Structure 1
Amino acid sequence: MGISLDDVHQIVGIPVMGRGMSKPAIIKQEDVVKLVHRALHLNPKVIEAELGTHDGRSVRLSWLKDNLAKKTSSMPTHSIECVVQGYLLYLLSCTIFPNKTGTYVSVEYLQYLDDLDKVKEFAWGAATLVHLYHGLGMASRAKCKSISGYLTLLQIDFNPYLSTRDSYPLQEYSFFKGCLVANRISEPYLPDRYLRQLGHVQSIPREPIQPDGKTKRPRLASSYRVTYGSNVTQME
């Protein structure tokens, strides 16, 4: 069995098609501080100090809660939007994008939350699957002792493809074959390897997508990196 885009849509209820989540990495520390300040309207020095407690790209969930929980609905609209962005960042870390620390969240997700009216336009479901696939790949390393990702997708036995298939129409995107890309992570998506699960006749799958020469799969998960050539069909 495999986890399909249709599974993500039906189980989680978030869009798997939409705007791509592939914005470039934020390199300079000052730009990271500006991103958090623009989104949450907190003191830049406070933000810089918090970023320094980990990897310079993440903040503690407890820090988010302490700095935003005391704000009320009587504040100006812009301030309320800042609280909403902070809450959504917190929610993402606790649900579809958890990491192995369990206490930190990458502030780069704020790039997709800066316009609350457009948050629903992004392909959150596809990004969820990419994050989970990547977490499974890292967990396969010999010295890795934990796993990250939205593990609910691994725990639920979901099979609407038999008697109730007419109530759950299978969308065309479920049969896409190529690489799913999100947050600069690329993971192969190969539904032809579990067609029977999708209610179709299982044929012999095509050859799997091979990573390029830059791929690293060492025993340590921290150095794990899998990339694919530009000639591979991608869904961003």
Structure 2
Amino acid sequence: MPYLELTRFGSTTLIWTIDLRYDLISTLVERWRLKTHTFLLSCGECTVTLEDVALQLGLPIDESTITGRNTIAEPATLCYSLLGVSPNNAGSKFTGLRFSWLKANFEHLSINATEQEVMCAAQVYIMYIIGGVLMPDTNNNRVHLMYLPLLTDLQNVRSYSWGFAILAMLYRELCRTTSLML
């Protein structure tokens, strides 16, 4: 938990305890307006702002911009250097880490864990939060590898505008989903 607090991801751990109401989410998606980026409700229009994201998630919004690379030259080497292990069957050009692989390799932390192992567990947990809740992929079964280099130095993680990246992803996904419905 101290490492999660250091990175400012501590409050995001509470998201796992929230039960999602998919019927309400579907209703909001139906009411999303592409041209104005707002929800059209009976009481008027409203939208999710950067301030909303900052207040609800406690993540930084006015720091360095996150501009992830879509491809990483040597993903297996990156995983091994940061996590101490790399997926064997993923091939040399994989772009994400499956949650099942992360869980199998990092679910349990030894009582005699070194400081490096605890930091690695914190990195993996943040990857879970990013890929599982904040910015999930379409299948919700993996997290993109582009976030792992941003977690290399846990003291530096808070210097990125995670809230801005999450809001941008939310808007993009709302627009994409709404376009598919039209």
TM-score (norm 2): 0.67
Which aligned pairs between 1:1-236 and structure 2 lie closer than 5 A? Answer: 1-28=46-73, 31-42=74-85, 44=86, 47-49=87-89, 51-52=90-91, 56-142=94-180
The CA distance in 2 between the partners of 1:62 and 1:27, in whole Å, is: 21
* CA-based RMSD: 2.1
Shift of 1:25: 3.5
The CA distance in 2 between the partners of 1:133 and 1:69, in whole Å, is: 32
Number of residue pairs the alignment of both structures matches: 136
Secondary structure in 2 matching 1:63: helix
- The residue identity in structure 1 corresponding to 2:133 is T
User: After superposition, what is the alpha-carbon deviation per residue over 1:209-232, rounded to whole angstroms, capped at 9, x for unaligned?
Assistant: xxxxxxxxxx9xxxxxxxxxxxxx
Which of the pair has the greater relative contact order for Cα pairs under 8 Å at 6+ separation?
2
Secondary structure in 2 matching 1:59: strand
User: After superposition, what is the alpha-carbon deviation per residue over 1:137-160, rounded to whole angstroms, capped at 9, x for unaligned?
Assistant: 221233x7xxxxxxxxxxxxxxxx
Query: Do the aligned partners of 1:73 and 1:80 also contact (CA within 8 Å) in 2?
Result: no
1:119 to 1:26, Cα distance in 2 relative to 1, 3 A: same
1:77 to 1:5, Cα distance in 2 relative to 1, 3 A: same
Query: Do the aligned partners of 1:5 and 1:129 also contact (CA within 8 Å) in 2?
Result: yes
Structure 2 residues not aligned, in runs of 5+:
1-45
Query: Do the aligned partners of 2:61 and 2:162 also contact (CA within 8 Å) in 1?
Result: yes
- The residue identity in structure 2 corresponding to 1:2 is T
Highest Rg: 1 or 2?
1
Select the structure that is richer in helix.
Answer: 2
1:140 to 1:95, Cα distance in 2 relative to 1, 3 A: same
- The residue identity in structure 2 corresponding to 1:17 is D
The CA distance in 1 between the partners of 2:115 and 2:84, in whole Å, is: 13
